[in-house]
Structure 1
Amino acid sequence: MVLALCTPIMSGPGSTRATGKLRQTKLPFTSTPSAGASEKLSDLDTGASASDNKRIKRKMDEGHETEKDPKARRSECATAAENRMKELASGVNHASDFLTTNKENDSRKGKEEKQLEASTSAEGEGKAQDEMSDFQNESEDNESEHSSSQENEDVAETESSNSKTLGRPIHELNTAPKCLPRNLILDRSHNHDVLIKVPFEYSNSSLPSAFPLNYQDRWDENHVRMPCSEKNQYPVDSEGSPGELANRWDLIQQALLAPITDSFTLEEAILRYNQRYTNKWKFTALHHFFTRHSGKERQDDFFAVLLPEMIRLAVKLPKICTKSIPLLKKGRSTKKLTLSQQQIACLLANAFFCTFPRRNSRARGAEFSSYPDINFSTLFQGPPNSRKMEKLNCVINYFERVCYDMPKGIVTFSRQTVQSSYDWHRSQDCLRGLHVSSSGTIEDNGIGMLQVDFANKYLGGGVLGHGCVQEEIRFLICPEMIVTRLFTEALGDQDSLIMTGCEQFSKYNGYADSFRFQGNFQDETPRDKLGRLCCEVVAIDAMVFRSDYNKQFKTNSVLRELNKAYCGFQSGEKEAEKSAVCTGNWGCGAFGGDKQLKSLIQVMAASAARREVCYFTFGDEKLAEELYEIHMILTSNQKTIGDTVWLIAEYEKKVVSRSFKRPSIRLFDFIKKKFGYSDSDFSSSGEPQTFDEDSNEARNTGWDSAVDGASPDHKANTP
C-alpha cells in the first residue's frame, strides 16, 4: 500500500485526520487525556485563528532556507510509514497483553509511586548551578533527599518483571563493532592530537609507545599546565630565604617518595607542595575510609603495597606522557585527543596526589575557573558519608587493576561543535526507528550503541564531591572518564564531548545514598581495530527549567535542545556505519525537563543524524507506551522532523502560552487530538480515563504525580 505524501501539519482541518489504515487498526492506547483536557483540545482545534498559525510560521521561517530535495525525503517517509504499519500489525497483540498486566498492577504502583516522587523530585539541584563553585558547595544538601533510594531500587526490581518493550527489536539496531567502517585509521592531524606512536596496532602483550620519544613542554593557555614542567614553580619556606621559588615537580617527588604509612602522612605529603591550603584542606573522608570503613588489614595492604605502585606510576609522568596535553576549549571547531589507557592512568594517579598546578581555585577569574576540578582533594574532604566511602572504593579498585595489570588499549576524546544549525522546521527527514523499554539501563543494555551521558556542563558533575547520580555513577565505574575534567572546558550551547573506548572497572548497585560498590568488573566489550573498546559515550548537558517549566516549550528553548542533542549524535560516517543512540530521560530530573518533550526532541535529533533510537524509561511504563504511540502516529502519517517541530510550536502557542502553570493538556495528548483520535482510541476499555485536578487524589499526590506517573528514574533521571 502506498500512503499519501506528507502534508504540512497546519494546512487545514484535513491534516488532523489519521490515515484509514491506522484508524482501522484500532491502536491499544491507554494513556488518555482528562475529560477537561479533551474539551480544551476540541476548542483549540476549532477556535484557533489563522493569524496564530501565521505568527508561528513567520517566527520559525526567519533566516531559514527550504531544503533542496523534499521529494526524496518524502519518498523515504512513505517507505518508513509502510514499515511502521507492518510493525503495528505485528505489535498489537503484544501491546494488548501488557494492558491487562498493567491494569492489575495499577493499585500497587499508585501507592509506591507517591512515595517515590517525594524522594526523587528535588534530587541533585546542585547540578543545576551555572557556576562550578555553587555546584560544589550545594550538592550535598540538595541530594540528601535520596535517603530512600534503596526502596526505589526494590520497586524497580519488582517492576522489571512487568516491563514494557515496544518498537523495533533491540537486536536489529545498529551496534559496534559490526557497523564500524573497515578502514579505521589512527593518524594525527591539525584537529587530532595522538599521544602515542602511529601507526598503532593493538596487542595484548605490549603497551602503546608514547609520542614524542622525549618530553616536550608547552606552558601556555592552550595546554594543561603539567606538574612535571620546568616552569612549574612554587614558593616554599626554607632556612634563610622565605618564599623562595622551587621547582614544584622536585617537591612532589621528594614528598611522595618519602615514607607514607597511613592517611595522615599521605595528607602531610600532599600539603608539602600545596602549602597555601594547609589550613583549608582537611582530609576527613580519607581518614575515615582507612581508619573506620576499611579496617586495619586493608589499610596496611594499601599503604604497603598499592600506594607505592601508584606513586611510581605518578612520578613516571614525563616518560609516559611525553608532551603537554592540549585543552579542548569551547568555541572552536571539532577537536580530538587520543591517549593510551596507561597515559590516562598516569594522569589520574597525579590527580589522586593533587599535583596539577593552578587547578585548586574555583574563584571567578582564576585561569581554570571554567574547567571542572581534577585534583582529588575535594573527594578526600568533607563529611565521611556513605557516598564518599563507596566512591573511594571504586577509585581504589581502579588503581588496583591498572597498577597490577595495565590495560593496553587507547581512548579517544572528541569535542564536537556545531558550526551551522540544522534547518529543523523545514526538514523533510523522516523519523527513524525506535526501540523503547521500561526496563534496562544504558550501560548494560546499550552495548555497542552511542550511549548518552546526561551531563553537567562541567563534565562529571559532582563525581569528586557529593554528587552520585547518573553521570557521577558512570564516571565512577569507568574512571577513565574522569580524566576529561583535566582538559575539557565547560560545554557551550553547541558543544558535546564523545568518549570512545573507556573501560568499566567496577560493579555497583543503588543510586545516590544507596549507591554501593559491588566489586571488580571485567569488561568484555569487544575492541575495534584501533584497540578501543566499542563503548561510545556522548556527554550533552540540558537546559535548566526547574524554576520555569513552561519556558522549555518556547521555540528558542526547543531549538537549543535540538541543536545540543544533534551536536552529540551527528557524525561524518555513512548511515550504515552509525550505531543507534541509547538514551533515556535526559534533563528530566534536577533540571526540570518534561519527559514527553525531551524524548521527542531526542528522537528528532537522532533522526536528523541518521541514527535510530534505543530509549529506556527506567521503570516508567506509561512513558514507554506513550512514546511508542506518538512515534507510531507520526511515522504512519509520514510526518517529518519539520512537521514535528511545527506541532511543538503549535502546542506552545495554543496551550502552554495560555497557561500560568503547568498546562493540563500534555504534549502527547495534543498531538493525538490533532490526528483525530477520540477517547476510545486511547483506552483499552473504550471508556475515557479522566483525572480531576481538584479531586482529593490530585491534592494528595501533587501535580507531578498526576501528569508524570511519578516513576523512579533510576540511573537516568538526572542531567
Structure 2
Amino acid sequence: MSIGAIEKFPEMPTVNFNKLYGDGFSQVKIEKMKCLFKALEHATTDTLHSIVKIWRSSPSMRHFFNNSEAFSVSINPYNKDTAGNNIGMDSYMFRNNAQNPRKYFVVDFANCMIGGGVLGHGAVQEEILFVEHPDCIAARCVMPKMEANESIIIEGARKTCSHLGYANQFEFDRISTTDLSPPTNSILGRVFVCINATDYSKRKQDQYHIDEIRRELIKALSGFSAFGIPQNCVTGNWGCGAFGGDETLKALIQILAASMAYLESINYCCFGKVKLHADLKLLIGELKNHRTTVGEYFRAMVKTAEAVKIGRAFKMTDFLHSKLPRRINFELFPQIYV
C-alpha cells in the first residue's frame, strides 16, 4: 500500500510487506519471514483447497442490555475435570484444542487495526497468531479499524508453522512439523474471534470505571455472540501485558460475556499466572455453591472495581466474599471446566 493510499484510507491497515523486509533490521523480523517462507512452501506443495471466511460481527446490544430476562439468566459453571482442564496454567492457547480445532474458537487479542504489528516489529499474541496462520493476514486487505461494538471473525485459517518464545525472544521453530489434516468439510483450520481491548498502559485507573467495563463487555460480547449458536471458547489474559489491563477484572468480564452469549465452555489459559489461576478456581467454586444472575454478577463487578484505590489491583476476594449476592434463581450458563 502506497503512502498516498494510507493517507486516503487512514482507517485501513497497511498491507505491503516493505516494513517487514526493510525499515530497520531485527531478529524478530527474520524469524517472521522464516515462518512466512514455510507457508509458501506449503502453498506450493499442498494439494488441499480450503475456504477462508473473514467477516465483521456487530450484533445488536439491545437484546443483551435492554432485556430484563437477559440479566436474570444465571451463571452456572459445570465442573467436568475428565473433559479436559480447564482453567489452566497453559501459556499456549492452541495446545488444548489441537486435536479438534473446529470445535473451539480462539480469541485473538487484537489491535483495532487487525493484525497489529504483524508486518513490522511486533511479536506478541496477535502477531504470532498471524504468522503461524498467514491466511489471517488477508483480513488486513478488507477490514478497516474496528469500532467499539465490533469484532472480526476469521474462519478456516490453517496453521503452517510453529514458533518458540515471545516478543523479543520470538523465533521460528524449525524442528516442529505442522500436521495439515485432510479436509472434513470445505472450511479447514481454526476459527479466530478478534477483539481489541482498550489500552490502559498510561491510565490504568480508568479501567475500573463503569463506562470502561461496559465497553470491554460489549466488545467481548460482540465476538462471543457472533455465531448465534452455542460455541466453545479458548481465551486468556486479554488486554493485559502491554495494554495494562487488570488480569482478574478482564477474566471476570470475559466470563460474564460468555454467559450472556450462552457459550458452552471456556478454556482459560492463565499464561503461568499463579495467583490468577488460584483466583479463577476460587471463582468457579463460589459460582457453583452460590447461584448468581448475570445482573447480580455485573453489579458486583462494577461495585468492586469502582472501589479499587490508585496503585492497587482488583481483588477477587473482595468480589466474592463481600459483594456477590446469595440468590438461587437460574437455568443455564456455559460449562467452565476447572
Range class of TM-score, shorter chain: 0.7 to 0.9
Matched, 1:616 2:265: no
Contact 2:133 2:160 (C-alpha < 8 Å) held by counterparts:
yes
Distance in 2, matches of 1:511 and 1:362, equals 34
> Which position in structure 1 is the counterpart of 2:336?
none
Distance in 2, matches of 1:400 and 1:429, equals 50
Compute the displacement of 1:632 (Å).
2.3
> Which position in structure 2 is the counterpart of 1:584?
236
CA shift digits 1:135-192 (9 cap, x unpaired): xxxxxxxxxxxxxxxxxxxxxxxxxxxxxxxxxxxxxxxxxxxxxxxxxxxxxxxxxx
Matched, 1:376 2:17: yes
SS of alignment partner, residue 317 of structure 2? helix
What is the aligned-residue RMSD (CA, Å)? 2.2
> Which position in structure 1 is the counterpart of 2:72?
428
> Which position in structure 1 is the counterpart of 2:95?
444
> Which position in structure 2 is the counterpart of 1:57?
none
Out of 560, 580, 594, the position equivalent to 2:246 is 594
Matched, 1:545 2:193: no
Contact 2:224 2:261 (C-alpha < 8 Å) held by counterparts:
yes
SS of alignment partner, residue 522 of structure 1? coil
Distance in 2, matches of 1:573 and 1:382, equals 43
Out of 315, 319, 325, the position equivalent to 1:671 is 319
Out of 311, 326, 329, the position equivalent to 1:662 is 311
Gaps of 5+ in 1: 1-358, 677-719
CA shift digits 1:361-384 (9 cap, x unpaired): 2787x2221111111111111222
Matched, 1:569 2:224: yes
Contact 1:397 1:505 (C-alpha < 8 Å) held by counterparts:
yes
> Which position in structure 2 is the counterpart of 1:522?
178
Contact 1:583 1:613 (C-alpha < 8 Å) held by counterparts:
yes
Compute the displacement of 1:651 (Å).
1.6
Task: Indicate how the Cα distance of structure 1 residues 425 and 555 shifts in structure 2: closer, same or farther if over 3 A, else same.
Answer: farther
CA shift digits 1:557-590 (9 cap, x unpaired): 111111100100114544xxx3311100000111
Out of 259, 272, 277, the position equivalent to 1:607 is 259
CA shift digits 1:298-353 (9 cap, x unpaired): xxxxxxxxxxxxxxxxxxxxxxxxxxxxxxxxxxxxxxxxxxxxxxxxxxxxxxxx
Task: Indicate how the Cα distance of structure 1 residues 445 and 650 shifts in structure 2: closer, same or farther if over 3 A, else same.
Answer: same
Q: Which aligned pairs between 1:131-530 and structure 2 lie closer than 5 A?
A: 359-361=1-3, 366-421=7-62, 422-423=64-65, 426=68, 427-433=71-77, 435-446=86-97, 447=101, 448-519=103-174, 521-524=177-180, 527-529=183-185
> Which position in structure 2 is the counterpart of 1:707?
none
Distance in 1, matches of 2:4 and 2:87, equals 41
Contact 1:431 1:603 (C-alpha < 8 Å) held by counterparts:
no
Aligned length: 308
Max Rg structure: 1
Report the residue type matching 2:178 in the other structure.
Answer: Q
Matched, 1:536 2:177: no
Q: Which aligned pairs between 1:85-96 and structure 2 lie closer than 5 A?
A: none
Compute the displacement of 1:438 (Å).
0.8
Task: Indicate how the Cα distance of structure 1 residues 390 and 534 shifts in structure 2: closer, same or farther if over 3 A, else same.
Answer: closer
Percent sequence identity over aligned pairs:
30
Higher helix share: 1
TM-score by length of 1: 0.41
> Which position in structure 2 is the counterpart of 1:328?
none
Distance in 2, matches of 1:521 and 1:373, equals 30
Distance in 1, matches of 2:290 and 2:170, equals 44
- Which structure has the higher relative contact order (CA within 8 Å, separation 6+)? 2
Task: Indicate how the Cα distance of structure 1 residues 383 and 609 shifts in structure 2: closer, same or farther if over 3 A, else same.
Answer: same
SS of alignment partner, residue 413 of structure 1? strand
Compute the displacement of 1:528 (Å).
4.7
Gaps of 5+ in 2: 79-85, 325-338
Compute the displacement of 1:616 (Å).
0.5
Compute the displacement of 1:433 (Å).
3.2
Contact 2:77 2:287 (C-alpha < 8 Å) held by counterparts:
no
Report the residue type matching 1:487 in the other structure.
Answer: V
Report the residue type matching 1:634 in the other structure.
Answer: L
Distance in 2, matches of 1:408 and 1:402, equals 10
Compute the displacement of 1:514 (Å).
1.5
Contact 1:508 1:516 (C-alpha < 8 Å) held by counterparts:
yes
Contact 1:361 1:369 (C-alpha < 8 Å) held by counterparts:
no
Compute the displacement of 1:518 (Å).
1.4
Distance in 1, matches of 2:30 and 2:189, equals 30
Report the residue type matching 2:114 in the other structure.
Answer: L
Compute the displacement of 1:431 (Å).
2.1
Report the residue type matching 2:77 in the other structure.
Answer: G
Report the residue type matching 1:449 in the other structure.
Answer: Y
Distance in 2, matches of 1:560 and 1:594, equals 15
Compute the displacement of 1:618 (Å).
0.9
